[in-house]
Chains A and B, each alone.
Chain A
Amino acid sequence: MSDVSSISRDTQHEIYRKMYLLKANDERVRKLLRTGRIVATYYSYRGQEVIPAALSVNLTDEDYLCTIYRGIHDMLAKGLPLKDLWAEIAGRVDGTCKGKGGPMHLTYPSKGIMVTTGVVGSSMPIANGLGWAAQLEKKGRVSVANFGDGAANIGAFHEALNLAALWRLPVIFICQNNRYAEHTAYAKGTAGARISDRAAGYAMAGVHVDGNDVEAMYAAAREAVQRAREGGGPTLIEAMTYRFQGHVFGDSDAYIAKEEKAAALAADPVPRYRAALLKAGGSAEQLLTEMEKQIEAEIDEAVEFALASPYPAMSELTRDVFAEESVS
């Protein structure tokens, strides 16, 4: 990080706070899964923290977010409360969705977190609809669709990008390219070196950015958000990153070369940004340490809250299918 940053000191600290929160939360989830205190299908986002942290400081609670099963980082950065998250991961009634959605289907509308999908690519057509609503309302809201590199090869991606460009929707498509679609390496599943190049096919702004570089990611997100707010239409951001864990918790990731993974871990963006903040001056070690301790304490509290929360009542089994309580 250069000494001359386009990001204010307060915002830098906020980005770091979010990055640490995401990292610590992921590590805690995996720890509890290993010890069996919670049982869930879990898709670690570890290594991808910069993207949502640098994006979300450019968004407000009024802006919409659609994300995917590997998306808890996106939601935490957007303001999803830890207690509600943890209770949902544990399947308890105090979770965001009363335990009925689970870690793959979190929703938290008061922070604009509208849909989390378990289906690759499906965040995009729905984010368009939220963008359409924003366009009709004319309040300058934007809609964000997160997805992975694998999702760029499903039909929904192409249908959604075409419609968004055609209707000039205020949507930001963020492809978090973590180099693997499930177990398949990028080059074995995707034709073309860059997904961002596909934006040109839809007459849309396309940006290729180092998604592990805070300054670059912040600038790309800021420009795309501004374009969308001002009626300039959608942007496709391909943010290059790396998935530190296997596809799903418990996956041995034998399909990843050891040297490749070791190099990625050595460049872990979270401690790297911390060091950069300290090196650039103005950030006291003590301030960051206090911030980290505070986050760990909040996670402790959220875990205890979640595990003490009751499971949903049996009446929840058939509630919320429709607005009516029971329909034959």
Chain B
Amino acid sequence: MSAKPNSQDEQMTILAAINGALADAMEADDRVLLLGEDVADAENGGVVGVTKGLSSRFGDHRVRSTPISEQAIVGAAIGASLVGWKPVAEIMLMNFTAVAMDMIVNHAAKLRYMSGGQTHVPITIRTMTGAGIGNGGQHSDYLEAWFAHTAGIKVIAPSNPADAYGLLRSCIDDPDPCLFVENLPGYWAPGEAPTKGHRVPLGKAKIVREGSDVTVISYSRMMVEAINALKLTDQNGISVELIDLRSISPWDQTAVVNSATKTGRVLIVHEAVTRFGVGAEIASTLSEVLFGKLKKPVTRLGAAYSPVPFSKPLEAAHAPNAERIAAAIQTLVAG
């Protein structure tokens, strides 16, 4: 299911957009390979079917199911990439990147630098995560800050099908390692379909809606909650500028600073734990660049400082939602 030419009313799920991006990348370049647990069709094309159809179309030599061996998966991707291949490795769940941390952080991210630019690691690591479906503490975490804190790996987190397609194509094109974070509960949400071949540049945010009172910055599934929050704040006549960061590292400092300069009030929302998170980096940068010019201190809204709980009411309370985002916006504009 490759991405179709765009039309106004054509809808597609994020899952289909990612599948289409992989198919189009493999069609465009024979060096693109896929590997990961259960990715081939004999194993159902992935645990939720993101890679369905690809091994049948491109062959088992290019789409390889692997043992449950995260270090071996990322290591194989790194090795092949050093000599010109473009592997896309799937680490099923973001928590499992912990098992492959040495390969990702000590090797993929550092080989270009440690070799003085003689080698580079053009791999993409796809991984899914997100709370909301009762997966509990070891299948739900947003861990993007770990990787954003590591020099040498790019971190990308799309919120909709068109961006998912365009960002994944850019990750696969990129000469350096990229971690591509997919939201598991959001896979089946429809949105505007991507145009075949479209690329979204890495490091560029998208201003989803312009506004003048408050800047709200988010990414991944929290963008959906933020969009829903605007329905509440619109009723109160608050003009919100909503920015989808899309790329966590590198991040679009220019777009964020420009918007903050305009509104003077900033709320950052993410599903990851607030402490030491991406929001802290953005807030710190804004205080360095715009000290004295902001109308309110930058506000962060993230998950509670706890593992993701299983019990439904606790899980629902762990991460922000539309109501809490709307309330935080109200607080920023009050007084």
Contact = CB atoms under 8 A, between A and B. Distances in A.
Interface of A: 64, 66, 95-101, 105, 107-109, 114-115, 117-119, 122, 124-133, 136, 143, 155-156, 159-160, 162-163, 166-167, 319-323, 327-328
Interface residues of B, number: 46
A323 B203 CA distance: 14
Contact of A320 (B74, B87, B113): B113
Given A122-B107, A156-B75, A162 B85 contact: no
Nearest to A108: B118
Contacts of A95: 116
B77 A129 contact: yes
A238 to B, nearest CB: 21
Interface string B57-81: 0000100101101111011111111
B117 interface: yes
B75 A129 contact: yes
B111 A122 contact: no
A232 B54 CA distance: 28
Contacts of B253: 328
B83 interface: yes
B331 interface: no
Contacts of A129: 75-82, 87
B69 A114 contact: no
Most buried by A among B75, B102, B106, B120: B75
A122 B107 CA distance: 9
B78 to A, nearest CB: 5
Contacts of B206: none
B251 A156 contact: no
10 contacts: A117-B106, A125-B78, A129-B76, A129-B81, A132-B76, A133-B79, A160-B75, A320-B116, A320-B117, A323-B175
Contacts of B83: 64, 114, 130, 133
Interface string B24-66: 0000000001000000000000000000000000000100101
A115 B103 CA distance: 12
B311 to A, nearest CB: 33
A167 B60 CA distance: 12
B72 A97 contact: no
Contacts of B250: 327-328
Most buried by A among B81, B117, B203, B251: B117
A124 B152 CA distance: 22
A101 B117 CA distance: 10
A213 B277 CA distance: 56
A99 B66 CA distance: 37
A125 B103 contact: yes
The 6 closest A-B pairs by CB, nearest first: A129-B79, A125-B75, A97-B116, A98-B116, A107-B115, A159-B72
Contacts of B307: none
B79 A159 contact: no
A15 B66 CA distance: 39
A101 B107 CA distance: 12
Contacts of A114: 79, 82-83, 119
B198 to A, nearest CB: 21
A322 B152 contact: yes
A76 to B, nearest CB: 18
Contact of B85 (A100, A128, A136): A136
A133 B84 contact: yes
B120 A323 contact: yes
Most buried by B among A97, A98, A128, A322: A322
A66 to B, nearest CB: 8
A166 B67 contact: yes
Contacts of B107: 115, 117, 119, 122, 126
Contacts of A155: 71
Contacts of A127: 79
Contacts of B61: 136
B100 to A, nearest CB: 9
Given A133-B85, A320-B115, A327-B250, 5 more contacts: A129-B80, A159-B67, A163-B67, A321-B152, A322-B112
A155 B71 CA distance: 8
Interface string B148-181: 0001101000000000000000000011100000
A117 B79 CA distance: 13
B79 A163 contact: no
Contacts of A118: 106
Interface in B91-119: 102-103, 106-107, 111-119
Contact of B118 (A109, A133, A327): A109
Contact of A105 (B67, B84, B115, B120): B115
Contacts of B152: 321-322
Contacts of B69: 159, 162-163
Given A122-B103, A163-B67, A320-B117, A143 B75 contact: no
A122 B75 contact: yes
B119 to A, nearest CB: 6
Contacts of A163: 66-67, 69, 72, 76
A119 B75 CA distance: 13
Contacts of A143: 79
B77 A115 contact: no
A98 B115 CA distance: 8
A328 B78 contact: no
Nearest to B77: A129
Most buried by B among A117, A130, A155: A130
Contacts of A105: 114-115
A131 B67 contact: no
A20 B77 CA distance: 37
Contacts of B74: 125
B228 to A, nearest CB: 30
A159 B71 contact: yes
A160 B116 CA distance: 27
Nearest to A126: B79
Contacts of A327: 154, 203, 250
A126 B75 contact: yes
